[in-house]
Amino acid sequence: MKAPCSIAASDPDVTEPHTSSSSSGLSSDVLGLGQAIVDWSASVPDEVLGRFNVAKGGRRVVTVDERAEVMQTLDEMGAPSQVSP
């Protein structure tokens, strides 16, 4: 049986399902999907927070396009930033 995911289907190591059994006799199928979330911080003026709709001291999940705009703004400002995985 092939995996219903086009990415998995292109990888021969994950195209067949794998079932594992525990010592209790129970079995389970495990599927792991991921998209890493990275915390990233910078010191900016309040105007920049307003531009990107972020409360002072707050946080917000951004889209790829928003991230590009934020990064460009920080580069233009020369604002130091820090990334934490």
Tens digit of each residue's pLDDT (9 = 90 or more) over 46-59: 999 999 999 998 88
Q: Determine which helix (DSSP H) or strand (DSSP E) holds 8, and give its type and residue range.
A: helix 6-9
Q: Is residue 61 part of a domain?
A: yes
The pTM (predicted TM-score) of the whole model is: 0.51
Mean pLDDT of the chain: 76
**Per the structure block, which two tokens stand in for 61?**
């999940």
Q: Is residue 13 part of a domain?
A: no
CA-closest candidate to residue 71, choices 48, 46, 37: 48
Residue 56 belongs to domain spanning: 39-84
Q: Is residue 76 part of a domain?
A: yes
Q: How many domains, in total, are found in the chain?
A: 1
User: Residues 60-81: what's their mean pLDDT?
Assistant: 89
Q: Is residue 8 part of a domain?
A: no
Q: Is residue 5 part of a domain?
A: no
